[in-house]
Amino acid sequence: MKTLVDQLSQYADYHRDGRNILTHFVGVPMILFAVVTLLSLPAWVLGDSGFVLSPAVLAALAASVYYMLLDTRYGISLAVVLGLMLAAGAWLAQQTLSMWLGAGMGLFVVGWVIQFVGHYWEGRKPAFMDDIVGLLIGPLFVLAELGFVLGLRKEVQHAIEMRSGPVRHARQAVL
């Protein structure tokens, strides 16, 4: 299994334009929430526990385990995010079919449009086109980049930049 830095560096190779990274701050959470929402049906209540099992729950558990294997801190953070998305997705799944489907599909399509605008600016195709695991790494990348902006995990940022180069900001991208 690749390491955290291996995965983030490979993904970062496709994401060095600061504008593209900004689009990912919006587009990736939209797409992730859309997938969680759409996978929230069918749902089964397990006995009297009130616990609801759905494809979204199973996918979130599998993703959380993978993220935790890569890095405990990022894994816990993403598990919390996924838990919140599961709760909101389950609520949407209990609404009308048109509301559930409209929200899920709308977020999915708009999220991808935002992503492709960012990759247009980047001048590169999305990472998942060369490695499907990129779809799973996207949320981790966004969380890591958010942390870097906040001054967290500088050692991870440095390791990624040593492999993939620094982020180019708007003025640098034009030059």
Q: What is the pLDDT of residues 51-106, one digit of tens each?
A: 889 999 999 999 999 999 999 999 999 999 999 999 999 999 999 999 999 999 99
The C-alpha atoms of residue 154 and residue 145 are separated, in whole angstroms, by 10
Res 175 pLDDT > 80 = no
Q: What is the pLDDT of residue 174?
A: 45
Q: What is the pLDDT of residue 170?
A: 62
Q: Which residue from 9, 128, 147 is spatially nearest to 78, judged by alpha carbons? A: 147
pLDDT band of 173, cuts 50, 70, 90: very low
Q: What is the pLDDT of residues 113-144, one digit of tens each?
A: 999 999 999 998 888 888 888 899 999 999 99
SS3 readout for the chain = CCCHHHHHHHHHCCCCEHHHHHHHHHHHHHHHHHHHHHCCCCCEEECCCCEEECHHHHHHHHHHHHHHHHCHHHHHHHHHHHHHHHHHHHHHHCCCHHHHHHHHHHHHHHHHHHHHHHHHHHCCCCHHHCCCCHHHHHHHHHHHHHHHHCCCCHHHHHHHHHHHCCCECHHHHHC
Res 172 pLDDT > 80 = no
Q: What is the pLDDT of residue 136?
A: 95
**Angle at which helices 134-149 and 55-70 cross, to 10°:** 60
Q: What is the pLDDT of residue 127?
A: 83
CB atoms within 10 A of CB 3: 11
Query: Structurally, how many domains does the chain consist of?
Result: 1
What predicted TM-score, i.e. pTM, was given to this entire model? Answer: 0.92
Report residue 169: phi and psi, to 5°. Answer: -90, 170
Q: What is the pLDDT of residues 11-63, one digit of tens each?
A: 999 999 999 999 999 999 999 999 999 999 999 988 888 888 999 999 999 99
pLDDT band of 169, cuts 50, 70, 90: confident
Residues 6+ apart with CB under 8 A from 55: 39, 40, 42
Q: Give the structural domain span for 124.
A: 4-174
